Amino acid sequence: MKRETLLPPYAESLWLRHSTLIVILEAAILLLPFLGMALFHSKGEPREAIVAVSMLQTGDWILPVSNGDVIPYKPPLLAWCIALLAKLLGGEVTE
């Protein structure tokens, strides 16, 4: 059984085009205002780079410190590698 529509064929493509634009517009309205509001250094690799910078600045290679707070729950191997490579390549942690 074939379903009959009341709309002509050109109207269906027009509706599809407009519905796609509406979805894109809604996504832009919901997402764009909040770009850049999340803290960059709160999670993941940037946090490890902050620990490596702290190691280079203070010389404390044994106990990892981030913004003055001790990080006893995270193994320091990644921070050591970042700090060591930075020291070998000029003493600055970069991308």
Is the residue at 84 inside a domain? yes
Is the pLDDT score of 21 beyond 80?
yes
- The pLDDT of residue 2 is 62
Identify the domain containing residue 53 by its residue range.
45-88
Q: How confident is the model at residue 27 (pLDDT cuts 50, 70, 90)?
A: very high
Q: What is the pTM of this model?
A: 0.51
Whether residue 72 lies inside any domain: the answer is: yes
Domain tally, the chain: 1
The verdict on residue 20 lying in a domain is no
Q: Which of 61, 84, 65 is nearest to 74 (CA)?
A: 65
- Categorize the per-residue pLDDT at 26 as very low, low, confident or very high, splitting at 50, 70 and 90: very high
Q: What is the 3-state secondary structure (H, E, C) of 1-40?
A: CCCCCCCCHHHHHHHHHHHHHHHHHHHHHHHHHHCCCCCC
> Is 4 within a domain?
no
d(CA 41, CA 48): 9
**77 assigned to some structural domain:** yes
Q: Does some domain include residue 75?
A: yes
pLDDT digits (tens, 9 = 90+) for 31-77: 898 887 776 656 667 777 888 888 888 888 888 887 777 776 778 88
* Domain presence at residue 37: no
What SS3 class is residue 55? helix
**Is a pLDDT exceeding 90 seen at residue 28?**
yes
**Has residue 28 been placed in a domain?**
no
